[in-house]
Amino acid sequence: MKTIGELLKKGKRTVCSKSTKTKSLVSTDEFVGIELEVEDAGRLNGTLNNNANCDQYWNVKGDDSLRFSGIELCSLPLYGINIVRAIRLYAESVKEDMLYAAEQGKDRSYLSDRTSMHVHLNVTDITTEQLQTIIYLYVIFEKLFFKAAGGYFMESSRDNNNYCVPLTHAEPAIVQKSYGNVITNSGAYLNNLCDYAFKYSALNIKPMKTFGTIEFRQHPGATQAQDVLNWVNLILSLKKFAKEFEGTPEDLMKMANEDRIALYKAVIKHVKLRRMFKKLYKVGQLGNDLEYGIRYFNQMINFRKHRLIVRSKLKELNENDDAEDTATTDVFAPWMTQLGGGVVPTPQNFAVSANGAVTVGSNESQEEGDPF
């Protein structure tokens, strides 16, 4: 199957692996783009522009949506060790500015509810099946992403921010139709999907058409190098798993339903990410957030499955001109029965077993052992 780059005629970026190796990253041959917003940055702007190496990694410009001479740093496409170098240059410039401000008896407030960090992940080198796996994985891990962005780096989460709306705040059927149906051999279909995508989703697929990337918008911003690096690694972890995973969406659903912690460990392998989540979660609570995402994912998969069944049945009906009008209702009856007589289930009351059986019941959380 063609890659997304081939479908969108964007080509495939290649790197020389010998120059990219670093143990700081989950993957050393992946391209990312980083956007950082910072307020109270009048002097920081000068510090960055006076750095001879800044232009190798960053484009720095003013941002009128931010206060006190706010700036936005937009990286060039980065990969491997260059990701680490770009982040360190930024963090060291911030530290220098903070020390200067302290000497002057001033206090810098770089971050606020107006600032954010967006990371673009290159997807031109993968197929639409692998992109679908990334999207499904993200749905499962979305609560963990917001926990990492809002619970560790800042005091408040951005899951109620209008500029990074969580996918799991929408009905699963809508998300499946808008994000899950990405498998195609048609560049025109993929472009159309991007055109109708919502820019301010926490996971934004709109840039795929322009830059060949998908954008992660959850993070409120950071000034520490390790915080930025952890966030990049969290995103790279999704792509690394998706490229190595050879199963179907149903196989992923079975894996998630059978052992959510095993899935967590298969995706989140980097030791510093494990440490980060260990600080964020009490024993058993990580499993509860995963459970929410898995139930939502189950609904997406079952909508996908039943949609295919309905399409097949309707095709049969169209081929049979003598079919009764009531036959269409019979096609939908099994699905509506499984979904509790037509009541739309939620992640709190909906579950699907490994064999695809649907149940609608209570939402009692279960404590689990420490996954770390």
- Kindly report which listed range (71-75, 147-151, 186-190, 273-277) carries the lowest average pLDDT score: 147-151
Segment 291-304, tens digit of pLDDT = 999 999 999 998 88
Segment 36-54, tens digit of pLDDT = 999 999 999 999 999 999 9
pTM of the model: 0.84
Residue 207 in this model has a pLDDT that exceeds 70: yes
Domains, the chain, with CATH or none: 4-285 (3.30.590), 296-360 (no CATH)
Compare 6 and 308 and report the one with higher pLDDT: 6
Residue 284 pLDDT: 80
Q: What is the mean pLDDT of residues 207-229?
A: 95
Residue 321 pLDDT: 55
Q: What is the mean pLDDT of residues 158-175?
A: 90
Distance between CA 107 and CA 97 in Å, rounded?
A: 10
Segment 100-136, tens digit of pLDDT = 999 999 888 899 889 999 999 999 999 999 999 999 9
